């Protein structure tokens, strides 16, 4: 027989291969699988919410008597019924408002009735008396001493030890970076650029709106069915707010119809649970309308950013001073960590010896902000990367060469004092520049068009607590197939397919023989922190691989005992245990459940095989609250670059992206086709925020809460040519060297487009979205056209 190494070369390896995506109905198992199939019974009630019409006001009184008297109404609840605070990193809000309202849409009361129509009628019958207060509508002003205080009890809130609120102000987190001597470095700079940028709020607009069904039984056990990225976080936060044990709260999360961060943490789900506590034994369904989705679910933070950066005569960056005012909205329980992430990434992916940064999360009376794909990095990089371009032009160096000169490389001491792990960022820049034919100017397609190219680079770390963990199990079946249990969620990104590939690769069975158990159910699924931060391939993937290896170990030890061989001489190849020593072979079928007989009918060896695995990073350290310095700020950074070529119509201001190129260092592409799909999708979503998306708020009131007035990019807006390039520099602690790439393609798109527009017409347009009107008026102001 050939030696072990040669034999292994013949094993079908599902890692790094674009296997087909798991089909939802053929490859998924579990109890109560599909939301459409779940039957809640004839006792189902429908909930609607009484919401604040004011951005900021005191609640003087609430009269629910007429609503309670309406036939068909089964329960009416207010904040008086639920005194507990809720929140992920900062517990700063009640389930229902108790003393004041802080944004238009703040939940004041809830109704459960036998139909949505009756519930809606009851909501209209609730009378609330308010004392209107001055709203705070600008984060920079809100951070100052003259702004009205939105959260007078900020100093009393429970907060994570890495979040730094400033009681007596509207600043819910202030993250600082102090590296080197910034003030002393300015005198050595040959060129200095200072800029101000502003980014608007945008909505995630998942096709499926938020929806939840909650039921509380007679013993107080809570069951919540919801479209959720965070079933275990929801279990923990809701249980804590209601004073319950986590074991008395079960969250069941079927497939999610789009999330992008909006369905992370807790938003409207706690409202359904709270109402259900008053109608025990009857399920309560709460569904956000599309209009509610726009301003009562999480929105992306707005940002006002100030950048100052300088370089020497050779173009080497010497100093950077950045100041960020994040518009966190009425409650910042999740978004305080976005501010933190922007702080520890505030230099961008550059080697800068002297950095000063202040990142402020500021309460305003705008909608509640939370995580969105990119987690603050698209907003921060939007201004930073345009500023980098301006500095390159100022010193007279090509923007690509300027980035290659200054980009972070393996071993550099980055902005927090951490040593940079191996990274392929420079390779990403070079590949993107080559693909976009940087330095070659193609003629425009018409006399009234101007053509330009732009580039931007990025980095992003998984923004999470230092001890966010994952777990998994691998259960063998009688026929030799395996069922994998995970607590992470499938959002359409293909994580179940990748988990099946990893399990198959580590176990030694065909990919087709792996099933992923569904739905995620906190009573039965293994623990997973959340499906956020582009961390599942890396973190949950490690747990799955460890579980598969544990199952493999059990199988090989069982067979080795039966054959009287050393487990090191055995292998599992394509679902068959083989011996490289004796050349024995036995399929997994039956033995992984029933074991193997001892010689001469003297008993049995083994039994049902269930592998267990877990993963938690143990090496992330705290950072000094005054300087932001520490040995290990994050687990790792995914880096990348994007470039675009576009045309500007100088008669109308319309911009057309002709082609886009993106390259990202993913460590190892477990499924290359899915990596490319993530890159292409992220690019188009970034394009959407660059050209179309903005929540228009006037005095705290949203003016465009529908797809009539809030446009997102469609396939008609996407360029015909999008090239996705995979770079692989292995992550030392990643499964097979992999790290995440789900959010990252959205990050550099706005500045790449902004830089290309500047290359085309020589004008900075300002804040996105870069509408035709805005581009046209910028050209008029610059005197390019009359």
Would you state the structure tokens that stand for residue 205, as one six-digit string? 């607009």
User: Cβ distance 168 to 157 under 8 Å?
Assistant: no
Question: Is residue 456 domain-resident?
Answer: yes
Catalytic residue among 293, 490, 743, 773: 743
Q: The whole model's pTM is what?
A: 0.96
- Taking Cα atoms as reference points, which of 665, 657, 706 lies closest to residue 686? 657
Question: Is residue 335 domain-resident?
Answer: yes
How far is residue 667's CA from residue 676's CA, in Å, rounded to a whole number?
Answer: 14
Q: Which of 244-248, 292-296, 607-611, 781-785 has the lowest mean pLDDT?
A: 781-785
Question: Is residue 161 domain-resident?
Answer: no
Query: Is the domain of 110 the same as that of 57?
Result: yes
Q: What pLDDT is attached to residue 481?
A: 98
Confidence of residue 774 (pLDDT cuts 50, 70, 90): very high
- Taking Cα atoms as reference points, which of 475, 513, 499 lies closest to residue 738? 499
Burial class (CB in 10 A: 0-12, 13-18, 19+), 246: middle
pLDDT digits (tens, 9 = 90+) for 285-323: 999 999 999 999 999 999 999 999 999 999 999 999 999
Strand pairing class (302-311; 317-329):
antiparallel
Would you state the structure tokens that stand for residue 615, as one six-digit string? 């993963």
Q: Which has the higher per-residue pLDDT, 63 or 12?
A: 63
Query: Is the domain of 266 the same as that of 332?
Result: no
Q: Which of 15-29, 544-558, 689-703 has the lowest mean pLDDT?
A: 15-29
Query: Is the domain of 75 the same as that of 22?
Result: no
Query: Is the domain of 314 the same as that of 381?
Result: yes
How far is residue 769's CA from residue 774's CA, in Å, rounded to a whole number?
Answer: 8
| Mean pLDDT computed over every residue of the chain | 95
Which of the listed residues 231, 259, 287 is the one where a domain comes to its end? 287
Residue 420 three-state SS: coil
Query: Is the domain of 746 the same as that of 724?
Result: yes
Strand pairing class (514-517; 28-29):
parallel
Query: Is the domain of 124 the same as that of 266?
Result: yes
User: Cβ distance 418 to 459 under 8 Å?
Assistant: no
Which of the listed residues 254, 287, 320 is the one where a domain comes to its end? 287
Query: Is the domain of 510 the same as that of 626?
Result: no
Cβ-based neighbour number of residue 482 at 10 Å:
25
The span from the first CA to the last CA of the chain, in angstroms, equals 82
Which of the listed residues 615, 636, 653 is the one where a domain comes to its end? 615
What's the Cα-to-Cα distance from 269 to each of 77, 122, 203, 235, 616, rounded to whole Å? 15, 20, 18, 10, 28
Q: How many domains does the chain have?
A: 3
Q: Which domain holds residue 224?
A: 35-133+210-287
| Domain of residue 478, CATH code | 3.30.365.10
Q: What pLDDT is attached to residue 26?
A: 36
Confidence of residue 42 (pLDDT cuts 50, 70, 90): confident
Question: Is residue 444 domain-resident?
Answer: yes
Query: Is the domain of 660 the same as that of 754?
Result: yes
Query: Is the domain of 514 the same as that of 567?
Result: yes
pLDDT digits (tens, 9 = 90+) for 420-448: 999 999 999 999 999 999 999 999 999 99
> What's the mean pLDDT in 206-223?
97
pLDDT digits (tens, 9 = 90+) for 258-273: 999 999 999 999 999 9
Query: Is the domain of 484 the same as that of 543?
Result: yes
How far is residue 323's CA from residue 140's CA, in Å, rounded to a whole number?
Answer: 10
Cβ-based neighbour number of residue 551 at 10 Å:
28
pLDDT digits (tens, 9 = 90+) for 559-581: 999 999 999 999 999 999 999 99
Would you state the structure tokens that stand for residue 476, as one six-digit string? 């063998």
- Taking Cα atoms as reference points, which of 540, 541, 371, 375 lies closest to residue 469? 540
pLDDT digits (tens, 9 = 90+) for 600-612: 888 999 999 999 9
With a cut of 90, say whether residue 39 has pLDDT above it.
no
Q: What pLDDT is attached to residue 695?
A: 98
Q: Where are the alpha helices (DSSP H) in 567-642?
A: 591-594
**DSSP string for residues in 74-122:** EEEEEGGG---EE-SSB--EESS-SSEE-STT-EEEEEEESSHHHHHHH
With a cut of 80, say whether residue 7 has pLDDT above it.
no
Query: Is the domain of 487 the same as that of 453?
Result: no
Question: Is residue 156 domain-resident?
Answer: no
Question: Is residue 152 domain-resident?
Answer: no
Q: Which DSSP category does 183 fall into?
A: H
Residues 6+ apart with CB under 8 A from 601: none
Judged by phi (left if over 0) then psi (alpha if -120 to 50, else beta), residue 98 lies in alpha
Question: Is residue 168 domain-resident?
Answer: no
Cβ-based neighbour number of residue 33 at 10 Å:
17
User: Cβ distance 287 to 703 under 8 Å?
Assistant: no
Query: Is the domain of 569 the same as that of 489?
Result: yes
Question: Is residue 296 domain-resident?
Answer: no
pLDDT digits (tens, 9 = 90+) for 134-173: 999 999 999 999 999 999 999 999 999 999 999 999 999 9
pLDDT digits (tens, 9 = 90+) for 501-513: 999 999 999 999 9
Would you state the structure tokens that stand for residue 35, as one six-digit string? 């939301």
> What whole-number percentage of the chain has pLDDT above 90?
94
With a cut of 50, say whether residue 451 has pLDDT above it.
yes
Q: What pLDDT is attached to residue 748?
A: 98
Q: What pLDDT is attached to residue 601?
A: 87
User: Cβ distance 530 to 495 under 8 Å?
Assistant: no
User: Cβ distance 484 to 551 under 8 Å?
Assistant: no
**DSSP string for residues in 534-570:** T-IIIIIHHHHHHHHHHHHHHHHHHHHHHHT--GGGE
Q: What pLDDT is attached to residue 12?
A: 62
Q: What pLDDT is attached to residue 741?
A: 98
Q: Which helix (H) or strand (E) holds 486?
A: strand 482-486
Strands (E) in 181-258, as ranges, are 191-199, 211-216, 222-226, 249-253
Q: How many residues does the chain have?
A: 786
Would you state the structure tokens that stand for residue 444, as one six-digit string? 């425009």
Confidence of residue 41 (pLDDT cuts 50, 70, 90): confident
| Domain of residue 220, CATH code | 3.90.1170.50
- 743 catalytic? Reply is yes
User: Which neighbouring-strand residues pair with 389?
Assistant: none
Q: Where are the alpha helices (DSSP H) in 299-368?
A: 336-344
- Which residue bears the tokens 């890692």? 15
């Amino acid at each position: 027989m050939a030696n072990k190494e040669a034999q292994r070369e013949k094993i079908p390896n599902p890692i790094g291969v674009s296997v087909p995506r798991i089909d939802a109905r053929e490859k998924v198992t579990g109890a109560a699988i599909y939301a459409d199939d779940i039957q809640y019974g004839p006792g189902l009630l429908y909930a609607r919410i009484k919401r604040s019409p004011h951005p900021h006001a005191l609640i003087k009184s609430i009269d629910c008597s007429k609503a309670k008297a309406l036939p068909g109404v089964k329960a009416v609840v207010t904040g008086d019924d639920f005194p507990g605070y809720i929140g992920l990193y900062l517990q700063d809000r009640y389930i229902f408002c108790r003393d004041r309202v802080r944004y238009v849409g703040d939940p004041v009361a809830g109704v459960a009735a036998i139909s949505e129509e009756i519930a809606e009628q009851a909501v209209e019958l609730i009378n609330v008396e308010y004392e209107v207060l001055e709203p705070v509508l600008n984060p920079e002003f809100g951070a100052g001493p003259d702004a009205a205080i939105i959260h007078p009890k900020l100093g009393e809130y429970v907060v994570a030890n890495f979040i730094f609120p400033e009681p007596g102000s509207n600043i819910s987190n202030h993250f600082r970076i102090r590296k080197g001597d910034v003030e002393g470095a300015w005198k050595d700079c040959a060129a200095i650029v200072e800029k101000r940028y502003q980014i608007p709020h945008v909505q995630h607009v998942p096709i499926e709106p938020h929806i939840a069904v909650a039921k509380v039984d007679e013993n107080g056990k809570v069951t919540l069915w919801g479209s959720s990225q965070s079933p275990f976080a929801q279990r923990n936060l809701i249980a804590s707010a209601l004073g319950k044990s986590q074991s008395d709260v079960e969250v069941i999360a079927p497939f999610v119809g789009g999330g992008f961060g909006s369905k992370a943490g807790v938003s409207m789900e706690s409202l359904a649970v709270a109402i259900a506590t008053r109608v025990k034994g009857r399920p309560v369904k709460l569904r956000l309308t599309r209009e509610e989705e726009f301003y009562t679910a999480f929105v992306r933070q707005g940002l006002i950013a100030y950048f100052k950066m300088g370089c020497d005569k050779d173009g080497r960056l010497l100093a950077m001073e950045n100041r960020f005012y994040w518009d966190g909205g009425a409650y910042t329980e999740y978004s305080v960590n976005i501010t933190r992430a922007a702080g520890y990434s505030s230099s961008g992916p550059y080697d800068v010896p002297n950095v000063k940064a202040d990142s402020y999360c500021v309460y305003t009376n705008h909608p509640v902000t939370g995580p969105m794909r990119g987690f603050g990095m698209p907003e921060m990089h939007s201004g930073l990367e345009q500023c980098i371009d301006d500095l390159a032009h100022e010193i007279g160096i090509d923007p690509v060469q300027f980035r290659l000169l200054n980009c972070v490389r393996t071993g550099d001491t980055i902005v927090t004092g951490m040593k940079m792990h191996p990274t392929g960022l420079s390779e990403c820049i070079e590949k993107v520049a080559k693909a976009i034919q940087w330095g070659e100017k193609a003629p425009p397609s018409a006399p009234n068009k101007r053509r330009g190219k732009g580039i931007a680079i990025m980095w992003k770390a998984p923004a999470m607590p230092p001890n966010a963990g994952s777990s998994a199990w691998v259960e063998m079946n009688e026929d030799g197939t395996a069922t994998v249990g995970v607590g992470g969620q499938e959002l359409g990104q293909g994580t179940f397919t990748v988990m099946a590939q990893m399990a198959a690769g580590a176990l030694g069975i065909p990919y087709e023989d792996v099933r992923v158990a569904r739905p995620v159910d906190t009573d039965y699924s293994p623990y997973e922190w959340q499906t956020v931060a582009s961390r599942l391939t890396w973190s949950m993937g490690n747990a799955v691989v460890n579980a598969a290896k544990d199952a493999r170990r059990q199988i090989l030890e069982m067979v080795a005992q039966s054959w009287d061989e050393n487990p090191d001489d055995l292998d599992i190849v394509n679902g068959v245990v083989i011996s490289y020593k004796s050349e024995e072979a036995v399929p997994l079928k039956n033995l992984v459940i029933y074991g193997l007989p001892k010689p001469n009918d003297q008993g049995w060896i083994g039994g049902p095989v269930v592998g267990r695995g877990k993963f938690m990073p143990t090496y992330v350290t705290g950072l000094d609250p005054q300087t932001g310095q520490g040995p290990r700020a994050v687990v790792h950074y995914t880096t990348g670059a994007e470039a675009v070529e576009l045309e500007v119509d100088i008669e109308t201001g319309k911009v057309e992206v002709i082609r886009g190129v993106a390259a990202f260092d993913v460590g190892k592409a477990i499924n290359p086709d899915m990596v490319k799909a993530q890159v292409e999708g992220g690019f188009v979503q970034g394009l959407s925020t660059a050209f179309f998306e903005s929540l228009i708020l006037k005095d705290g009131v949203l003016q465009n809460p529908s797809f009539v007035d809030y446009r997102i990019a469609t396939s008609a807006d996407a360029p015909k040519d999008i090239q996705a390039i995979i770079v692989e520099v292995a992550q030392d602690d990643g499964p097979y060297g992999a790290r995440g790439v789900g959010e990252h393609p959205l990050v550099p798109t706005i500045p790449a487009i902004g830089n290309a527009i500047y290359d085309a017409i020589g004008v900075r347009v300002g804040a996105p979205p870069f509408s035709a009107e805005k581009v046209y008026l910028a050209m008029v102001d610059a005197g390019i056209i009359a």
